[in-house]
Amino acid sequence: MHVVMLSKALVAGAYQKKLEELARQPDLRLTALVPPDWHEPGVGRMPLEPRFTAGYQLEVLPMLLNGQHHLHFYPTLGRVLARLQPDVLHIDEESFNLATAHAMRAGVALGARCCFFNWANIERGYPPPFVWFEQYNFRHAGYAIAGNHEAAGILRRRGYIGPLTVLPQFGVDPDLFAPRPPRTGGELVVGYVGRLVAAKGVADLLAAVARLPDPVRLLLVGDGALRPQLEQQAQHLGLAARVQFAGAVPSTAVPAVLHKLDVLVLPSRTTPNWKEQFGRILVEAMSCGVVVVGSDSGEIPNVIGAAGLVYPEGNIPALGNALRLLAQDEQLRATLAQRGRERVLEHYTQAALARQYAQIYRELYPR
């Protein structure tokens, strides 16, 4: 069975490990189609990082309207698919995107069985032409994959009646994201890794750390439009000596960052247009044996389970209390770190997800 996956997310090198795991399936031949880069709004250009490319074919396609989540597409895709002749076309895009409808039409014309992937977890109506894209994709898709439970419910309410599975888009490599070496020293290092934008709640994290004693330090890794404001907030709170703004790092450098931390916080805040769809950094941290704390925005509580602490989003005192508890209780940190690693090994490794994705492809294209 020849599976072709179209995915802009695969510009991140760490994500490609799932494809190596998929390529190990004896009945699959895999080709990945990716753009040369992706221009993430509010973050900037994310170039392709060819890192894990063994066992499958990786091809680069030009993209038009790069950075437009709902309007980008690949103008040469039809010719490429005609050459590749896939049995299964995995379109790693939302049901209402132009890229999905464009790829779906090309795949269906060649007789490929197609699936799409949805993260969207906020109920909303889509104006034309996006509602038309979605209706077309619903009619022609042989399978749908949702990255979280709310997204799955929305797909059903919007009229999708075909096969549907809730499955994360990518897992983690437990060898790459290995438990961190034992840390020495009396200070607690709390960290955040991700975009510096308002919805991620980093301002809440700064305010919570300001309530804690000096041995607690904060490492912020990432960039975004909010960085100047957060730097000013740190100065105003008297945290300048305790907070480090480290900037963004490549996806393959994240394990080294996590090894510097005792606690990883994802303090996301729901907005009218967004709430946390998964929180991949949580499973990466858990895999590294780093204790996780998250708000209750979106899918975060389901990802953490009993392997970390969850607090009501926007509740700065509650976040401060969670961090204070962890700073004072070394045994609790050790217990949660162990639970996190075990949870990842059971549910979130790239190999485990690859087996589940391979089964979806077999259901799409039974021999």
What is the per-residue pLDDT for 282? 97
Tell me: do 228 and 333 sit in the same domain: yes
Looking at residue 259, its pLDDT comes to 96
User: For the chain, what is the mean pLDDT?
Assistant: 95
Read off the pLDDT band of 213 (50, 70, 90).
confident
Check residue 182 and give its pLDDT: 73
Residues 161 and 12 occupy one common structural domain: yes
Give residue 251's pLDDT: 81
Q: How far is CA 240 from the centre of its chain?
A: 30
Instruction: Say if residue 42's pLDDT is above 80.
Output: no
Mean pLDDT calculated for residue range 199-207? 98
* Whole-number Å distance between alpha carbons of 252 and 50: 11
Same domain, 149 and 218: no
Whether residue 182 lies inside any domain: the answer is no
Whether 183 is in a domain gets the answer no
Kindly state whether residues 335 and 359 are assigned to the same domain: no
CATH at 294: 3.40.50.2000
Same domain, 194 and 257: yes
176 part of a folded domain: no
Segment 262-266 shows an average pLDDT of 97
Q: How many CB atoms lie within 10 A of CB 47?
A: 11
High-pLDDT (> 90) share of the chain, %: 90
User: Are residues 114 and 15 part of one domain?
Assistant: yes
Tell me which residue range forms the domain holding 197: 188-347
Q: Are 84 and 4 within 8 A, CB to CB?
A: yes
Q: Are 336 and 353 part of one and the same domain?
A: no
Cα 296 to chain centroid, rounded? 17
Q: How confident is the model at residue 41 (pLDDT cuts 50, 70, 90)?
A: confident
Q: Are residues 221 and 337 in the same domain?
A: yes
Q: Is the residue at 310 inside a domain?
A: yes
Q: Residue 358: pLDDT band by 50, 70, 90 thresholds?
A: very high
User: Does residue 230 sit within a domain?
Assistant: yes
Whether 200 and 307 share a structural domain = yes
Name the domain count of the chain.
Answer: 2
At 185 the pLDDT is 65
Answer whether residue 342 is part of any domain. yes
CA 58 to chain centroid: 21
| Angle, CA 319 vertex, CA 317 and CA 322 arms, to 5° | 110
Residues 6+ apart with CB under 8 A from 223: 43, 44, 195, 196, 247, 248
Mean pLDDT within 239-255? 92
Q: What's residue 205's pLDDT?
A: 98
Tell me what the mean pLDDT of segment 64-90 comes to: 98
Q: Residue 184 — pLDDT band, cuts 50, 70, 90?
A: low
Within a domain: residue 360?
yes
Give the pLDDT mean for 63-85.
97
Numbers of helices and strands, H then E, in the chain: 13, 15
Beta strands in the chain (DSSP E): 2-6, 29-34, 37-40, 44-47, 57-60, 88-91, 113-118, 143-146, 164-166, 188-193, 216-221, 243-245, 263-266, 291-295, 308-311
Residue 177 lies in a domain: no
In terms of domains, do 147 and 257 share one?
A: no
Is there a single domain that holds both residue 202 and residue 273? yes
Segment 67-81 shows an average pLDDT of 97
Q: Check pLDDT > 80 for residue 14.
A: yes
Within this chain, do residues 239 and 148 fall inside the same structural domain, yes or no? no
Q: Poorest-confidence range of 91-95, 163-167, 171-175, 341-345?
A: 171-175
